[in-house]
Chain A
């Protein structure tokens, strides 16, 4: 039995202390996801608190047919969407063709890997993106969720997830290049 499975079993046996381990493990990613959706720190914290309480109450219903993380992130996602009071979080399909990331964009991004303030720049770039795209990039590239996991969390179809991820990545690299150009200009 994994540590996580043991914690869940303990919580189900009434040991609330074991829940603290689950909170420690998932708090930061839950907060990141909530923040990507609501775009506000205070609201994101409220969403995370609600999501953990919901998770605690629903834990007896968790059957283990999917990853626990995906199951919990789905709760976070729905809680955050409810707080937005708008059922349409994901933008509709754009008919505009999107090209893949260019070599220039890739080179700019590679150069950024060495930068001391990389995390700050990436965070700002993600904030500048559409929230649904920032969320997908976070799930896929930061949390390393599979397309199937993302489908479970967001209830989007696999083809929809793939298309949106492709667009999100392109927009991310374009925004990154623009930002870097702006910063270079500012330095000069």
Chain B
């Protein structure tokens, strides 16, 4: 059996059909028309949702206020809070809002660099 297999292999040697010389060119022309297979990296930033950001800002504001009162040695009441904040409200909101936004920017940059 092995002998016949060997003989058949020898007989079949070099009997592959020869395509026309332009086949290779035709195939490559079709391939160049195809979209490249490069895996595109799509940045889908996993940004925290708006709700989470808002809660973060609120929490941060409360923390700032709590620390402020704590170090001044006053008890925290709603009236006292309002009286204190009224003149500085825009400034407090701006400062306490800017810091988390800055931190978020750093975090996004870091994520992008890691990719």
Contact = CB atoms under 8 A, between A and B. Distances in A.
A24 B24 contact: yes
A64 to B, nearest CB: 16
A137 interface: yes
A45 B16 contact: no
B9 A144 contact: yes
B40 to A, nearest CB: 9
Given A56-B34, A137-B8, A48 B23 contact: yes
Interface in A1-41: 11-14, 16, 19-20, 23-24, 27-29, 31-32, 35, 41
A16 B32 contact: yes
A109 B7 CA distance: 8
Contacts of A32: 16-17
Interface residues of B, number: 30
Interface in A86-104: 100-101
Contact of A28 (B10, B19, B36): B19
A158 interface: no
Of B3, B14, B34, B37, most buried by chain A (CB within 10 Å of CB) is B37
5 contacts: A14-B37, A23-B28, A27-B23, A109-B7, A119-B14
B16 A142 contact: yes
Interface in A103-139: 106, 109-110, 112-113, 118-119, 122-123, 126, 137-138
Interface string B78-94: 00000000000000000
- Can you list the 8 inter-chain pairs with the closest CB atoms, starting with the nearest? A14-B38, A31-B19, A141-B12, A14-B36, A32-B17, A32-B16, A142-B12, A52-B27
A179 interface: no
A27 B24 contact: yes
